[in-house]
Amino acid sequence: MEDLCNHVDNAAECGCSSKSSTYAQSLSEMDFERGIWQAALDGNVNRVRKLLYKGTDPNAKDGSGYTALHYASRSGHEEVCQLLLEQGADVNAQTRSGKVTSLHRAAYSGHLSVVKLLIKYGADPRLCDSDGQIPLHKAAEKSQKEVVRLFVDLDSSLVKVKDKNGRLPADLVSSKECSLLNML
């Protein structure tokens, strides 16, 4: 039997298609694909709008505790994020185990326009994930310079926040990234 990944947990890292036709597809994968999460991940604003119109909760969580806003934020789908937020999506919703917010996801992926939108709707840049990291840690780790600059301009004290391992955002930056280190 073909070995399938769990698209709910690994959608961004997975190289195979989540539209698998194999009979081994799990119920949770089918729920994910038919639900608001896949539409948000794909940036399908019309499908998201239709699902919301039919009564889908914008804060519905998948099996891992991710909301549609988490998926749209990670993928940089600003229009989907805007729609979800207008329909009452919780901008600070955290996943079950990792305690990750949509702002963490957008910052990590470097989606500046989505980061700005989330902040406009009240996203808290000081919310920590399960590792004690704030979104600035995530942006610094991935050398997302524009996002780092936005956070520093928003609140310069964010550069002093340490994670559970005592690391500052600057500690996660490669020594080759001099301009980024200078910001932090």
Residue 8 scores a pLDDT above 50:
no
- pLDDT tens readout for residues 92-125: 999 998 999 999 999 999 999 999 999 999 999 9
d(CA 77, CA 113): 9
In this prediction, residues 40-65 reach a mean pLDDT of 95
More confident residue, 47 or 26: 47
- pLDDT tens readout for residues 149-183: 999 999 999 999 999 999 999 999 988 788 888 88
Query: Cβ contacts of residue 149 below 8 Å, gap of 6+?
Result: 183
Closest CA to 165 of 129, 126, 127, 139: 129
User: How confident is the model at residue 1, as a pLDDT?
Assistant: 33
Please work out, in degrees rounded to the nearest 5, the angle formed at the alpha carbon of residue 94 by the alpha carbons of 48 and 137.
Answer: 110
d(CA 94, CA 109): 17
* CA distances for 174 relative to 129, 143, 169, 184, angstroms: 22, 8, 11, 12
Domains of the chain: 24-182 (1.25.40.20)
Question: Considering Cα of 58, then 63, then 66, then 69, what sign does the dihedral take?
Answer: negative
Phi-psi region of 155 (alpha: psi -120 to 50; beta: other; left: phi over 0): beta
